[in-house]
Structure 1
């Protein structure tokens, strides 16, 4: 692990990595060495089936014990293991710079960086490809997918330089996401998901055959609304301000916010998108465990 990686990864995230596995519910269409099943069959690491011997087959793949029992030649086939390609779609619009008053040094974007770093470290350990799509100041910047420690450090540098600002770009600026994230690739969005354009993008990616997951990052103040008395609220993206009696609107806000979260979760589930929520005062590893817990670790 590099020094840059250590700046983002917390001890809890490092401890969680052995219990996590990036995977797609769809078969990976590419060939290679990794931890994911491919549609291609041949020599591999996990037995799939027997088939009759055909001229030209490698004699080393003949099951001689089965031949002794049946007096017929059968070849062992296995599913090829193929590397997954992970795309981390990181929202760095202005609202992602928000923090809680009790911890002004820890923003949504800080949490997104840490979660992205954990996923890259996991992809690196699995031998998977990974890349970044960064949304900030009405533009999209892409770090092309690659493998290895140099790729990880390249991505970490881009995350380190990323600053929260501006709003979502228009649809045409998001075209590189479609061009680079192939069918069957895993796309993970790290965002507050307050911009409908981001949700629409996830839905379109899912309909186009990408494996899509999302983590909505919220502040504790949004969850609890601890404000009292007269309070001025400011939209970080539009600059619009609202002066109101916080105590008088608290119950209505919490009810409306809870309903909005439930509606978002239903909308994403309807598109087949795996979804988790992270609040800034909660353990960082929790949303990753919900999305990527190894099958043998679920419920542990």
Structure 2
């Protein structure tokens, strides 16, 4: 069972070997766990260079001076902090669950995945923020760091409800003003609304690094229905009557094609996309995004 922070104990234990990081090297002020292209007195040795007036004496390699009679400075990769944003889709369709895992909805999964991202950021000393978007508009927790920031984000997640449709773009302006170029944005959504996909594309085009986790039900993956069924769109209320067995092959074919098309579209925009089905381990999509490289595990 998950506690008030939404993270089951077994999942928390498996988070220990994950590292929240983006693919782009971005310089910044302060020290974090993300190597950048800037040089300075960081942690990872990069190269020697000749001493210049103004360099700190502690950077001089005195052993090399003893051998060469010249002053050289040890230059290192400067560790730059990361700012991570989590965007949670709280429109009505995110309230859907299925029989494969009763009581577990897309929004529940989004809450738990968001909490995991916050935990990773907290562990690394990174800043993080939260945007919840749905029928109530935009609820924003500006980026910050530390345990109190995590608690603020968790309180907003606890209050989130899946309702209404995705709001118009004007109501999302505060997100654009807060999530800056070079920062990491993790979008948690079923991606069924065109506006969600368009937001991911626009954020990527504006030089945010965007990761998209599509949250899907096991029933959408397997379509186990038999006999007559009434299928209802939670956002529009539209209903379709269909025979489950007769519709299965056509649904699975079209659903697979739609997911493939979405993946290609987002990849073309520079957005990395992974899928999460509600009956899978919670940390599975995070492993696809943030698993350490073999060189880092060595």
1:47 to 45, 68, 72: 45
Give the drift of 1:207: 1.3
Q: Is residue 288 of structure 1 aligned with residue 294 of structure 2?
A: no
1:115 to 113, 116, 119: 113
1:56 maps to what in 2? 54
Give, in whole Å, the separation in 2 of the partners of 1:118 and 1:107.
17
**CA deviation vs aligned residue, 1:22-60 (integer Å, no higher than 9, x gap):** 112222232112101234322111112221111222111
**CA deviation vs aligned residue, 1:83-139 (integer Å, no higher than 9, x gap):** 100000000100000010343311000011111111101100000000001011151
Q: Is residue 269 of structure 1 aligned with residue 267 of structure 2?
A: yes
Give, in whole Å, the separation in 1 of the partners of 2:160 and 2:138.
11
Gaps of 5+ in 2: none
Contact map agreement 2:100 2:218 (CA 8 A) in 1: no
Show the 5 A alignment for 1:120-269: 120-137=118-135, 139-269=137-267
Contact map agreement 1:31 1:80 (CA 8 A) in 2: no
Distance 1:141 1:36, change over 3 A: same
**CA deviation vs aligned residue, 1:183-232 (integer Å, no higher than 9, x gap):** 11110011101111111111111111111101111011111111111111
Contact map agreement 1:12 1:283 (CA 8 A) in 2: no
Give, in whole Å, the separation in 1 of the partners of 2:156 and 2:191.
21
Q: TM-score, normalized by length of structure 1?
A: 0.94
Gaps of 5+ in 1: none
CA RMSD of the aligned region, Å? 1.8
**CA deviation vs aligned residue, 1:147-205 (integer Å, no higher than 9, x gap):** 01000011000000000001111111121221111111110011101111111111111
Give, in whole Å, the separation in 2 of the partners of 1:170 and 1:299.
44
Give the drift of 1:18: 1.4
1:16 maps to what in 2? 14
Give, in whole Å, the separation in 2 of the partners of 1:298 and 1:35.
12
Moved runs in structure 1, 4+ residues, more than 3 A?
296-300
Give, in whole Å, the separation in 1 of the partners of 2:237 and 2:67.
78
How many residue pairs are counted as aligned between the two chains? 297
Q: TM-score, normalized by length of structure 2?
A: 0.95
1:79 maps to what in 2? 77
Give, in whole Å, the separation in 1 of the partners of 2:131 and 2:281.
25
Contact map agreement 1:278 1:287 (CA 8 A) in 2: yes
